[in-house]
């Protein structure tokens, strides 16, 4: 197998959650560029319709599916539908996630101020949504005896993070261990399960709060490279973990963080 073939996804079917913007969109573009047929899912159908042609133009094929990942039954039905229509599901990227608000340096982010409804919403998307996506994909990949599952966690799941809310850090830490657990179960079936732990990226999470100059400066001050990342910078690792190039990698959660975890 050549170097190019190792990173090729030609003929593969991939599903990406939270794909209408930010990291999910960048990952979808990377998979399409490698030749995959990408199913972009998100709660925002209008945004999906706007970005889908660009993903298809990247080199592969693309289609959209409106999906709320906190609805486990809907996730299972969607994955079953995609696998049945295309004959397989080769790559699942469980990316959908939401912010839990500010960290404990602000009064509203302190533990006594955590709102029950917000906690439940974040767990429903960031943890239950990832679990349901992994579970639904595993069903088909076990039968196929092969596949790639990639879960997007966060450096806030690997260490304490003062800028992030409690529910966010708790769910991202849980995703890291979910990756380990699923990797062990699925290894005998040839299914690789890995995680990505982004540091601060310029995305629309929390209503795009990180794009505010003062907030961006706060995050950048914690990064050894001295800046936050562009979504394009997630593409390399996402493609690696989704392709044959990661044939001896499973159970890992790899930071893309400008050196944050090295401090």
- The ranges assigned to domains in the chain are 3-262
- Predicted confidence at residue 198, as pLDDT, reads 98
Question: Which residue of the set 104, 166, 168, 189 is catalytic?
Answer: 168
pLDDT beneath 70: ranges in the chain? 206-207
β-bridge partners, 152? 196
Q: In this predicted structure, what is the pLDDT of residue 160?
A: 92
- Could you report the per-residue pLDDT of 78-111, keeping only the tens digit for each? 999 999 999 999 999 999 999 999 999 899 999 9
pLDDT of residue 114: 95
Q: CATH homologous superfamily of domain 3-262? A: NAD(P)-binding Rossmann-like Domain (3.40.50.720)
Instruction: Write down the pLDDT at residue 219.
Output: 87
Per residue, the 3-state secondary structure of 124-177, as one string, reads HHHHHHHHHHHHHHHHHHHHHCCEEEEEECCHHHCCCCCCCCHHHHHHHHHHHH
CB 231 within 8 A of CB 260: no
Q: Is 104 part of the annotated catalytic residue set?
A: no
Nearest to 91 by CA among 12, 151, 27, 24: 12
Q: How far apart are CA 191 and CA 193, in angstroms?
A: 6
């Amino acid at each position: 197998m050549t170097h190019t073939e190792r990173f090729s996804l030609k003929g593969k079917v991939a599903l990406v959650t939270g794909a209408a913007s930010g990291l999910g969109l960048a990952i979808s573009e990377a998979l399409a560029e490698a030749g995959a047929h990408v199913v972009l899912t998100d709660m925002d159908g209008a945004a999906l319709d706007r970005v889908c042609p660009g993903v298809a133009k990247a080199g592969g094929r693309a289609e959209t599916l409106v999906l709320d990942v906190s609805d486990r039954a809907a996730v299972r039905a969607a994955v079953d539908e995609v696998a049945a229509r295309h004959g397989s599901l080769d790559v699942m990227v469980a990316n959908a996630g939401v912010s839990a608000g500010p960290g404990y340096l602000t009064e509203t982010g302190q533990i006594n101020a955590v709102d029950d409804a917000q906690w439940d919403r974040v767990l429903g998307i960031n943890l239950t949504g990832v679990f349901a996506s992994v579970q639904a994909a595993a069903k088909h990949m076990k039968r196929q005896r092969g596949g790639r599952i990639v879960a997007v966690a966060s450096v806030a799941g690997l260490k304490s993070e003062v800028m992030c809310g409690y529910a966010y850090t708790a769910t991202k830490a849980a995703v890291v261990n979910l990756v380990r657990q699923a990797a062990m179960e699925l290894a005998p079936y040839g299914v690789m399960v890995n995680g990505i732990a982004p540091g601060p990226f310029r995305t629309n999470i929390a209503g795009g709060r990180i794009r505010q100059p003062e907030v961006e400066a706060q995050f950048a001050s914690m990064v050894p490279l001295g800046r936050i990342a562009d979504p394009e910078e997630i593409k390399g690792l996402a493609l690696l973990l989704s392709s044959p190039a990661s044939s001896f990698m499973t159970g890992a959660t790899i930071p893309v963080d400008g050196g944050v975890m090295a401090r």
